[in-house]
Chains A and B, each alone.
Chain A
């Protein structure tokens, strides 16, 4: 009897779902049962993977991970700090707070520099987003977001707009205007929509596209003008906390870090994960590319920062000390890439020698956690934002 022309001559309750439907005979382990059509189809597709239990798949994945580590280890002939012994040691390190930006009413959560190397945008827990002139410490613009905990903010490459978002699950773009009469909030454009909080956002090389990371475990690329989703990136098993775009002009990749302890490198055109690194022991709070684009650093709640090389496809350095027991919330490289600035939850900023793996300096000054840290585009200074309501510019 051909499948296409079976006659329904049995009507009754399905042996699987117990609903009253037209039934077909189905053979399971030489026992005849009666399933309704949908259940029969499900059974047919399930059968393909019948022998694969969750446990067997997991053990297969584990053994593959082991093999991958073996392959990676074959190229591992020397440690970074050993090769770096030939490199000249750094001179005396003197960096002080040169400006303190006061004005936020609550914890500062995020900040970004403008490409003009002078302006800074910062966002805080009370919903305020402020644009400052870092030389004069004047506030140039201020917007109040309708939500609290604005965890992400970014300056557009042109300097004409800012993007921000947080607990509202959205990323909004505000064009910056110097017209005093205009209400900035009126021109707001909602670009991204996620199903959970927005943890990070960044413009790509132009004002037209924004890359966002969210607590719903995904990253997404959006078109600013239309608000359309251009590409989404699935793969993280938990909240994505940070992202950074590759520095090249024709850049097509970015790295993201999440609460699943993984740092993943993505291809923006295909939406696929290209490389993944899972050596941290806790949430990755911050990732930043090395200036050349061949490596990236990450800061995590496990109190370490790590350097991953993309060509060697492995972790090549760990920056940690016994005396550092609080998580690193934010990292950034100096212009040359020789120094790594990392802000920690113990109110300090540690400066690491990237090549030698040693700590160059520890900077005190903030009175609460350092939540965000960025080096200026020309490398002459860096700015840190903290839960003590202030931002400090160091040089």
Chain B
């Protein structure tokens, strides 16, 4: 965000009265940048976000203790990474005391203590009465180090240090953004780093923060945990997969299965192998387009939404359009309804037509299929070696076929009446 050249905000040195203000950005620039890069339409939102970023301590107004963002010419400066809140500082009161002390030593108008800071200093002096000499010495040492630095650099560093303390010791009435949700306290990334002094002051009695619960050891995942997880995942996967019976894959359908096809039309449609057999039979009768239409419409119902329109068109062209290659026989009323539906093109376009074809197949083709040689042979589990058949006399063949058709009629009659 800071680099002007790569689409960041422009940071300039601004001339003001007799001096220069180094390294500043205007509020407007920041707000504009936020709106552009985070696709924010409403400037109110951008100002709010900017204020939050400032309140956290990543950007600060150079001439105000209150950390907020305004959409105007007010100048802001970026905070140094050393002072970033993400380092999880929790500076001690001794550090704050050193800082305030330091401020009083430097004879500069801009570093004068605000009222609340003066009050804080007085309070700390009372609290640290015994250690005050130590604190005073530390402050003096800091001032000496600071004097050696370049003037402009010092200006910047001073303001950054002040902003740091504005975050950790906020102006009374301002939100303290360093407050943490106690539930998340335990898992701070670097609980040790927190206790480090801002000015590198080492002390024997580093007080325990009352907010920090002593960090509990994070439960390591045991083998048992993972085994349970594996069992759970397997159960979930099974739920999703419908285990197809292996029997469905085999080529030779069992007798039971073949018998089942005779129970009702639905049974044969449900079974993949049954459908295949039925289709083969229909092909021999040159009426396979009915079943193929029915299957295509079933398949359409399971298509993903984006393919539905395309499939509807395909089915129409193949089975229903004038001059279709596999024209099915629909009565005019159904045809009307269907051609209307095709215009909308949904999953259920062919519902009406499908039902008609279903009834047609059931009453006509299905009955014939059950009486057919192909079905009867499968039912009686008879293998038809061509050579053997040749040996039977024509009379035998005749009586056999008559017998079969009679038996078939009786069987289907029984089945359909039940």
A residues at B contact (CB < 8 Å): 49, 52, 54, 57-58, 60-61, 64-65, 67-68, 71-72, 74, 77-78, 83, 107, 149, 151, 167, 196-197, 199, 215, 217, 235, 237-239, 241, 259, 273, 275-276, 283, 313, 321-323, 325-326, 346-348, 362, 364, 367-368, 387-388
Known A-B contacts A71-B241, A387-B179; A61 and B236 likewise in contact (beta carbons under 8 Å)? no
| A322/B38 in contact, CB under 8 A | yes
| B304/A78 in contact, CB under 8 A | yes
| B52/A326 in contact, CB under 8 A | yes
Instruction: Report which of B37, B45, B230, B239 forms a contact with A64, defined as CB distance below 8 A.
Output: B230
Interface residues of B in 187-227 (CB under 8 A from A): 187, 216, 218-219, 221, 223, 225-227
Interface residues on B, range: 35 or more
Residues of A within 8 A of B232 (CB): 273, 276
- B122 at interface (Cβ–Cβ under 8 A)? no
Residues of B within 8 A of A217 (CB): 219
- B39 at interface (Cβ–Cβ under 8 A)? yes
| B183/A151 in contact, CB under 8 A | yes
| A237/B183 in contact, CB under 8 A | no
| A64/B233 in contact, CB under 8 A | yes
A241 smallest CB distance to B (angstroms): 7
B residues at A contact (CB < 8 Å): 34, 37-40, 42, 44-46, 48-49, 52, 175, 179, 182-184, 187, 216, 218-219, 221, 223, 225-230, 232-234, 236-237, 239-241, 304-306
B344 smallest CB distance to A (angstroms): 13
Say what secondary structure dominates the interface of chain B: helix
B94 smallest CB distance to A (angstroms): 26
Instruction: Report which of B49, B216, B305 forms a contact with A323, defined as CB distance below 8 A.
Output: B49
B27 smallest CB distance to A (angstroms): 17
Instruction: Report which of B223, B236, B305 forms a contact with A275, defined as CB distance below 8 A.
Output: B236
| B48/A346 in contact, CB under 8 A | yes
| B306/A77 in contact, CB under 8 A | yes
A-B contact pairs, 27 of them (CB 8 A): A58-B226, A61-B230, A61-B233, A65-B233, A71-B237, A71-B240, A71-B241, A78-B304, A78-B305, A83-B305, A151-B182, A151-B183, A196-B216, A215-B183, A235-B228, A238-B218, A239-B183, A259-B184, A259-B187, A273-B232, A276-B236, A313-B236, A322-B38, A323-B40, A346-B52, A347-B52, A387-B179
Q: How many A-B residue pairs have CB under 8 A?
A: 93
Residues of A within 8 A of B46 (CB): 323
A369 to B, closest residue via Cβ:
B181
| B49/A346 in contact, CB under 8 A | yes
Residues of B within 8 A of A323 (CB): 34, 38-40, 45-46, 49
Q: How far is the CA of A364 from the CA of B230 in the complex (A)?
A: 46
Residues of A within 8 A of B182 (CB): 149, 151, 167, 197
| A362/B226 in contact, CB under 8 A | no
Residues of A within 8 A of B241 (CB): 71
B168 smallest CB distance to A (angstroms): 17
Instruction: Report which of B42, B175, B216, B226 forms a contact with A57, defined as CB distance below 8 A.
Output: B226
Q: How far is the CA of A326 from the CA of B53 in the complex (A)?
A: 11
Residues of B within 8 A of A348 (CB): 48
Known A-B contacts A323-B39, A348-B48; A60 and B230 likewise in contact (beta carbons under 8 Å)? yes
Residues of A within 8 A of B218 (CB): 238
| B48/A364 in contact, CB under 8 A | yes
Residues of A within 8 A of B49 (CB): 323, 325, 346
| A54/B226 in contact, CB under 8 A | yes
